[in-house]
């Protein structure tokens, strides 16, 4: 497994509270280059007030952290393989700071797990990027995801959704439970991210997983480069495995090996952690190329060279479609180019292009 150079902060709640502002700043300060920050809106993408939440988060980073954070929007898995989807992936892959936060844990995990997001998050942190995951987004990082709304609000029997297994890059075998010490229920137990201790015990009896429980307004910080972890905020971080329950509190920097011993990664975990593959057809492959070039156009000044690359890639894809007897699709590309006043001239060996005389 590759050496992890980046850092991650996992928040139990309170991502915009004064208690945890220092956590955001710290991960920003860990970067050795100009900040290129993005927030991804998937966890709350289904909500009617999604735009309002994006605005509030961007204002928080601008006013409290003194940085601009851009939006990488991915609200619906129906957008997978679209141009917008690949633009989102390209933007995130070039960023060095990512934030994801509140919403529905199960909605986030089910949307992300079928996409390129899990591998992107892993690569981002492994290569030296910083990331902050809070609340719902934090719930997706381990082996399993707790479907809070379905159990607590709808009343379904306790069950697990799949997790993204991001923490396996640190050799940690666990599931994240934010809102670990929640007390909003008053007379009824809402700890363990609202589902309560009784239902959590039922879950663990049916299908055990090691637990990292993170109290509200509390953060677990893991530094891959230093192989260390620590706790920030007003609460504690609780580890639960088959043998014991152990709490870590603010005020000490711990060796990450201590966490690895409590949450060991088995050979089965390693074997099952294969890189996910998103099957691309010819059109989605074209969309990916267009998204990459659009991002280049945004960042580069040499538009002429980029335009040439785009046209040549389109012609190359057209030729591949023709070779595969997909004549309708290849004609669509030719028609698209003709609308741009581009003429294609085919011979036995190659295809050339030029602008139509107007």
* pLDDT tens per residue across all 358 residues of the chain: 679 999 999 999 999 999 999 999 999 999 989 999 999 999 999 999 999 999 999 999 999 999 999 999 999 999 998 889 999 999 999 999 999 999 999 999 999 999 999 999 999 999 999 999 999 999 999 999 999 999 999 999 999 999 999 999 999 999 999 999 999 999 999 999 999 999 999 999 999 999 999 999 999 999 999 999 999 999 999 999 999 999 999 999 999 999 999 999 875 554 444 444 444 466 667 677 777 666 666 665 556 676 778 788 888 888 888 888 888 888 888 888 887 778 888 877 788 887 775 4
What is the C-alpha separation between 94 and 120, in angstroms, rounded? 10
Q: Distances from the Cα of 19 to the Cαs of 12, 16, 174, 246, 266, in angstroms?
A: 12, 8, 26, 23, 36
- pTM, 2 dp: 0.80
Joined together, the tokens standing for residue 244 give 């014991």
Q: What angle do CA 22, 175, 125 make, to 5 degrees?
A: 50
The sign of the dihedral angle between the CA atoms of 304, 310, 311, 312 is positive
What is the C-alpha separation between 179 and 14, in angstroms, rounded? 10
Q: What angle do CA 46, 48, 50 make, to 5 degrees?
A: 70
Helices (H), the chain: 21-29, 50-60, 83-93, 105-112, 117-126, 135-139, 148, 196-206, 256-262, 267-272, 282-299, 303-323, 327-339
- Token match 């934090």: residue? 138
At 333 the pLDDT is: 87
At 61 the pLDDT is: 98
- Break the chain into its structural domains and give their ranges: 7-272, 300-355
Q: Which CATH fold topology does 7-272 show?
A: Rossmann fold (3.40.50)
Question: What's the full length of the chain, in residues?
Answer: 358
Residues 145 and 195 sit within 8 Å (Cβ to Cβ): no
Joined together, the tokens standing for residue 172 give 């940690």
At 346 the pLDDT is: 83
What is the C-alpha separation between 225 and 237, in angstroms, rounded? 21
Of the candidates 354, 328, 40, 14, the one whose C-alpha atom is nearest the C-alpha of residue 181 is 14
């Amino acid at each position: 497994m590759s050496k992890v150079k980046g850092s991650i902060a996992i928040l139990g709640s309170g991502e915009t509270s004064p208690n945890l502002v220092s956590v955001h700043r710290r991960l920003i300060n860990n970067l050795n280059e100009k900040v290129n920050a993005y927030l991804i809106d998937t966890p709350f993408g289904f909500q009617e007030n999604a735009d309002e939440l994006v605005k509030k988060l961007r204002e928080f980073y601008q006013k409290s952290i003194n940085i601009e954070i851009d939006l990488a929007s991915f609200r619906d898995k129906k957008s997978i393989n679209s141009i917008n989807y690949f633009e989102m992936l390209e933007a995130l892959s070039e960023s060095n700071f990512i934030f994801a936060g509140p919403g529905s844990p199960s909605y986030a995990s089910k949307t992300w797990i079928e996409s390129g997001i899990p591998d992107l998050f892993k690569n981002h942190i492994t290569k030296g990027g910083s990331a902050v995951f809070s609340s719902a987004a934090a719930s997706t990082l381990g082996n399993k995801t707790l479907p809070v709304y379905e159990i607590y609000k709808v009343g379904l029997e306790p069950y697990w959704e799949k997790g993204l297994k991001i923490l396996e890059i640190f050799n940690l075998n666990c599931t994240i439970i934010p809102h670990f010490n929640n007390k909003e229920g008053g007379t009824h137990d809402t700890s363990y991210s609202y589902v309560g201790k009784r239902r959590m015990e039922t879950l663990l009896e049916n299908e055990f997983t090691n637990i990292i429980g993170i109290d509200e307004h509390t953060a677990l910080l893991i530094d891959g480069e230093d192989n260390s972890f620590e706790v920030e905020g007003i609460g504690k971080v609780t580890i639960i495995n088959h043998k014991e329950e152990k709490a870590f509190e603010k005020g000490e920097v711990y060796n990450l090996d201590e966490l690895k011993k409590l949450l060991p990664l088995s050979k089965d975990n390693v074997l099952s952690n294969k890189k996910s593959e998103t099957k691309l057809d010819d059109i989605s492959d074209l969309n990916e190329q267009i998204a990459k070039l659009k991002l280049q156009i945004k960042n580069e000044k040499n538009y002429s060279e980029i335009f040439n690359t785009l046209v040549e890639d389109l012609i190359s894809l057209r030729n591949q479609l023709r070779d595969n007897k997909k004549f309708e699709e290849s004609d669509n590309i030719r028609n698209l180019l003709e609308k741009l006043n581009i003429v294609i001239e085919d011979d036995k060996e190659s295809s050339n292009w030029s602008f139509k005389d107007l």
